[in-house]
A = this chain, B = another copy of it.
Amino acid sequence: MRICLSHSSLKLTVMIHDRELRSLLHKFGLKVTAARLRVLGVLVHSPVALSHRDILEKMGEQTTDKVTLYRTLHSFADCGLIHKVATKERSWRYALHNGDPDTIPHDGDHAHFICDICERIYCMPAVIPDQKQQVELKRGFSLRSEEYRLHGTCPQCH
């Protein structure tokens, strides 16, 4: 499944209301609760992956307990509504799967481009060489998955 929520378009952003959020939760088999609606509301309006702290701050008045937020994010990630990306600052970033034409869905082999400046994480199409044969043959390593990370500056930060 591929839910398309464009972040670049303000018009679309404004259109995301309670009804849409509820149906999104339903689609992923989650109970609709006040906290989940608020968290999802924040994620839906962000073009970049957010940290736990970012989300708490963006919730402002409507804030929740920090534990609730961690658990909410876990549920979202477990059912595939959002994805988690590890950062070198030993914390996680969370983002909705999005339909940005410049990125691809978060499955299959692809690269993550992590901007040094704004820390946005982009999923990029990439030709990743298959190392399985090479590595296994050489020393009995068996490969489960590959991750290719690119670090640099994104177009917005130039």
Give the residues in chain B near A152, CB-CB below 8 Å. Answer: 141-145
Q: Which residues of A (108-158) have their CB < 8 Å from a CB of B?
A: 111, 113, 116, 122, 124, 126-129, 131, 134-135, 138-155, 158
The answer to whether residues A143 and B148 also contact, given A90-B91, A113-B135, A129-B129 and a CB cut-off of 8 A, is no
Report A102 CB to chain B, min CB distance, Å.
6
Interface residues on A, range: 35 or more
Judge whether A151 and B155 touch: CB under 8 Å.
Answer: no
Contact indicator A151/B141 (Cβ below 8 Å): no
A15 interface residue (CB < 8 Å to B): no
Q: Within 8 Å of chain B (Cβ to Cβ): is A19?
A: no
Going nearest first, the 3 A-B pairs with the smallest beta carbon separation are: A90-B90, A140-B155, A143-B152
